[in-house]
Amino acid sequence: MRVYNFSPGPAVLPEEVLRRAQEEMLDWHGTGMSVMEMSHRGPEFGEILTRAEADLREILAVPSNYRILFMQGGALAENAIVPLNLLGEQGLADYVDTGIWSQKSITEASRYGEVVVVASGKSSGYTRIPPESEWRRSPDAAYLHLCTNETIGGLEYHWLPEPAYGVPLVADMSSNLLSRPVPVERFGLIYGGAQKNIGPSGLTLVIVREDLLGRAHPLCPSAFNYQVVADHASLFNTPPTFAIYIAGLVFAWLKEQALPGLSALASMEARNIEKSALLYEALDESGFYRTAVEKSDRSRMNVTFFLPKEEHNAVFLAGAKERGLVQLKGHKSAGGMRASIYNAMPKSGVVALVEYLAEFERVHG
Amino acid sequence: MRVYNFSPGPAVLPEEVLRRAQEEMLDWHGTGMSVMEMSHRGPEFGEILTRAEADLREILAVPSNYRILFMQGGALAENAIVPLNLLGEQGLADYVDTGIWSQKSITEASRYGEVVVVASGKSSGYTRIPPESEWRRSPDAAYLHLCTNETIGGLEYHWLPEPAYGVPLVADMSSNLLSRPVPVERFGLIYGGAQKNIGPSGLTLVIVREDLLGRAHPLCPSAFNYQVVADHASLFNTPPTFAIYIAGLVFAWLKEQALPGLSALASMEARNIEKSALLYEALDESGFYRTAVEKSDRSRMNVTFFLPKEEHNAVFLAGAKERGLVQLKGHKSAGGMRASIYNAMPKSGVVALVEYLAEFERVHG
């Protein structure tokens, strides 16, 4: 029996994808081999990689002057790899602080150059994204960094900064990439760990505008030098082949989810708006549960909420688990609850959670 | 139908491991989740990680003053990560050049400090490992680096340098780790990509003596700083959870392979001696096939050989494929053929290859 898995990541994957991986585990397409056993330079894996990249380029409408790189280390490694590749001679970058993930980016980047925090949600207790009017940007920054979805706090940008100064926009999209359409052409670089909407952990996606290649610091490891990775079509070092295969199956699944007349990502966005609205409405109407994030900045991916009393938490989680609703505990730094409802969480899972919320309130409210 | 897969890596995995992964794909141990969908901080994955580390420590007899780190980026990333972590104030390291993989290590390390090539197989065309009497070591080196098995050339150390000068020994064991017992206590650090004898690509094992932690260069990314990774028990960044799970299944499989009265690795070594001897004897006795590597330095993992005429290669490979013997083509820089016969290659695969060698010789010899 499968559960409804609200894990923030690694997270639920489409059941169809897992079933396909299961079927093909010992013999991929009549080759007599698992994908895990294939040379990364052979024609079979070449087909998997080429298809995955082409599907991602199509789904996300990645312009032809952007390279798609399949890398390793996750967003925490990218927090160093980005400045190692992009800080260049300026040696200065702007960062927006909207919570724990952008703070981690800031801390790591500060080791490589001057980091200017152009705006911070700290004074609001990280319950809102500072509006652009409050940002104090540096005209000579090598780039401006933001985290488009704060997985722990549960905040998400539903707007983008105006293009200004010609400063490239760099975004950690680990937890909302592929959950909605993104105007890639507005960014210099997009990165994200795969383990939310894309595939297994151990795979990092980087989408980078070609003019930003070739600026790496002399001490940047070759395996993490965007120019080197691009020149070798993600095969400089052995890539995480099985994770790329699963991501490719997810991309194919996404294309199958397209509603009539809508793109795959517009369709996912419509579903994600519906699912998150269902949950937020239930929380807002209850008078029992409490949310902290400003309505305009609420994440569609990670819905954070609190019970009236701390001592209710353990009872709530135990009852949820009995009903097959798992991994709902909030991050230890945030407390409370967090329901991560990525692309692969079916609406039925959200409905089941909403029913449980009402039931728990009736008993404990 | 499964083939006999002689890929140099990613490489054949034990069929029992793949079947288990297949069974558990949608529901690991009654959790209702795939391992890919589990939070890396939850108790379920915690159990998988703890067990994998304990089994590896047992199998390899890793002393208690060594840390086992599950990392990412493969050996090519480690070629930078090792000097970033270990070069320290000396800024000088010794490297032994035995072929393409040690050359890659040397090239990358040279970007971080002074690299002394203490011996090279170049003058022999990389057909032998320079004996220790020829090494010109630096007494003040931060470490001495060697590649214990050259996957492309097909050379393997069957001895270890004498401990001297107190210089830590650092070894890239990507392609022979877990194929034989190793006196870990003779090394300062052992590293390897998983995709030969261990598991899927995207996982890197690092085994490091504790006194070598805490020396990282200020610009070493935190995710690749051995001290940081050790302090977080391989959970600083999200690890490649599914790859660790598969590696754990391989470790359990290795324990089951132990012959009566022998350790798991002594048993694997006995099998690997038998398999490689079978193949080398067939090559030596043929008078048709040619090998290049000195007998004393032949790899048990990667058996390289040549046909008398270049134009035979395509015919040989096509005939092999018809018989279910795949991925036998030598590396493009080496030419000829390469049969990689890691732990998971059954003896029956080697027997089938030996039969085909004889058959091909009868027709074309």
Q: Which domains, and CATH codes, for chain B?
A: 4-10+262-364 (3.90.1150.10), 15-256 (3.40.640.10)
Mean pLDDT in residue range B70-92: 95
**With an 8 Å Cβ cutoff, are A193 and B2 in contact?**
no
Contacts of A81 in chain B (CB under 8 A): 221
Phi–psi pair at A219, nearest 5 degrees:
-95, 10
Query: What integer pLDDT is reported at residue A103 of this predicted model?
Result: 98
pLDDT at B163: 75
Question: A29 in contact with B at a CB cutoff of 8 Å?
Answer: no
Q: What is the pLDDT of residue A297?
A: 98
What pLDDT is stored for residue B9 in this prediction? 95
Per-residue model confidence as pLDDT tens digits over B228-246: 999 999 999 999 999 999 9
Question: Closest Cα of chain A to B249: distance in Å?
Answer: 14
Dihedral angle at the C-alpha atoms of A218, A224, A230, A233, nearest 10 degrees?
A: 140
Q: Which of A28, A94, A101, A275 is catalytic?
A: A101
What lies within 8 Å, CB to CB, of B258 at 6+ separation is B264, B267
Tell me if chain B has a CB within 8 Å of the CB of A110. Answer: no
Measured between beta carbons, which residues in chain B are less than 8 angstroms from residue A219?
A: 84, 111-112, 217, 219
* Residue B75, helix vs strand vs coil: helix
What's the gap in Å between the CA of B188 and the closest CA on chain A?
Answer: 22
Measured between beta carbons, the chain B residues lying within 8 angstroms of A237 are 73-77
- Using the Cβ of B88 and the Cβ atoms of chain A, whether some distance falls under 8 Å is answered with no
| Rounded CA separation A9/A7 (Å) | 5
Block mean pLDDT (10 aa), chain A, length 365: 95 98 98 97 97 98 98 98 93 97 98 97 97 95 97 97 86 98 98 97 98 96 98 98 98 97 98 98 96 98 96 96 97 95 98 98 94
Whether A318 has its CB under 8 Å from any CB of chain B: the answer is no
* Predicted pLDDT of residue B195: 97
**Which is the catalytic residue, given A94, A97, A172, A297?**
A172
Task: Name every chain A residue with its beta carbon within 8 A of the beta carbon of B249.
Answer: none
Q: Do A202 and B240 touch (CB under 8 A)?
A: yes
- Strand, helix or coil at A180? coil
Q: Return the pLDDT at A361.
A: 97
Task: State which amino acid sits at residue B110.
Answer: S
Can you give the pLDDT at residue A8? 97
Q: Say what the pLDDT of residue B166 is.
A: 86
**Most B CBs within 10 Å, among A107, A174, A219, A321, to test the B interface:** A219
Task: Flag if A3 and B40 touch (Cβ within 8 Å).
Answer: no
What is the distance between the alpha carbons of residues B309 and B288, in angstroms, rounded to a whole number? 10
The residue-averaged pLDDT of B91-98 equals 97
Per the CB < 8 Å rule, is B74 touching A237? Answer: yes
User: What is the arithmetic mean of pLDDT over B84-102?
Assistant: 95
Separation in Å, CA of B139 to nearest CA in chain A: 26
Is A3 in the B-facing interface, judged by CB distances under 8 Å?
yes
Residues in chain A closer than 8 A to B33 (CB atoms): 2-3, 5, 12, 326
Average of per-residue pLDDT across B135-153: 96
Asked if pLDDT for residue B173 goes beyond 90, the answer is yes
Facing residue for A72 by CB, picked from B34, B75, B202: B202
Smallest Cα distance from B12 to chain A, Å: 5
Nearest CA in chain B to A36: B200
Q: How far is A349 from chain B, CA to nearest CA, in Å?
A: 14
Asked whether the predicted pLDDT for residue B128 surpasses 90, the reply is: yes
User: Could you report the per-residue pLDDT of B274-322, keeping only the tens digit for each?
Assistant: 999 999 999 999 999 999 999 999 999 999 999 999 899 999 999 999 9
For residues B353 and B316, what is the distance between their CA atoms, to the nearest angstrom? 11
Q: Which of A201, A203, A238 sits opposite B40 (nearest CB)?
A: A201
pLDDT band at B365 (very low <50, low <70, confident <90, very high): confident
Q: What local confidence, expressed as pLDDT, does residue A32 receive?
A: 96
The per-residue pLDDT for B190 is: 98
Closest-CA distance of chain B to residue A38, Å: 6
Q: Provide the 3-class DSSP secondary structure of residue A3.
A: coil
pLDDT at B47 over 80: yes
Residue of A27, A43, A237 whose CA lies nearest to B12: A27
% of chain B exceeding 70 in pLDDT: 100
As a whole number of Å, the CA-based R_g of chain B is 21
Q: Nearest-CA neighbor of A165 among A191, A192, A135? A: A135
For residue B112, give the chain A residue with the closest CA.
A219
The predicted pLDDT at position A90 comes to: 80
In A, residues 57-76, which contact B (CB 8 Å cutoff)? 72-76
Of B199, B207, B192, B179, which Cα lies nearest the Cα of B240? B199
In terms of CA atoms, which chain A residue is nearest residue B75? Answer: A237
User: Which neighbouring-strand residues pair with B339?
Assistant: B303
| Size of the A and B interface in Cβ pairs below 8 Å | 233
Cα dist. A148→A85, A133, A157, A182, A187 in Å?
21, 17, 5, 11, 12
pLDDT of residue A47: 98
The Cα B26–Cα A15 span in angstroms is: 8
Ranking B26-30, B200-204, B331-335 by mean pLDDT, the lowest is B331-335
- DSSP three-state, residue B154: coil
CB contact under 8 A, B27 and A1: yes
pLDDT of residue B307: 97
Distance CA A334, CA A154 (A): 10
Half-sphere exposure at residue B201, Cβ-oriented, CA atoms within 13 angstroms: 33
Q: For the segment B193-212, what is each residue's pLDDT rounded down to a tens digit?
A: 999 999 999 999 999 999 99
Is A196 designated active site? yes
Rounded average pLDDT over B65-75: 98
Nearest CB to B238; choose among A74, A218, A242: A74
Which of A72, A101, A107, A321 has the most B C-beta neighbours within 10 Å, making it the best mutation to test the interface with B? A72
User: Is B219 near chain A, with CB under 8 Å?
Assistant: yes
> Measured on CA atoms in the order A38, A43, A44, A50, is the torsion positive or negative?
positive
Helix (H) or strand (E) holding A77: helix A74-86
Compute the mean pLDDT over every residue in chain B, rounded to the nearest whole number. Answer: 97
Q: How many angstroms away from the CA of B246 is the closest CA of chain A?
A: 10
Is the pLDDT reported for residue B217 higher than 80?
Answer: yes
Higher pLDDT, B96 or B310: B96
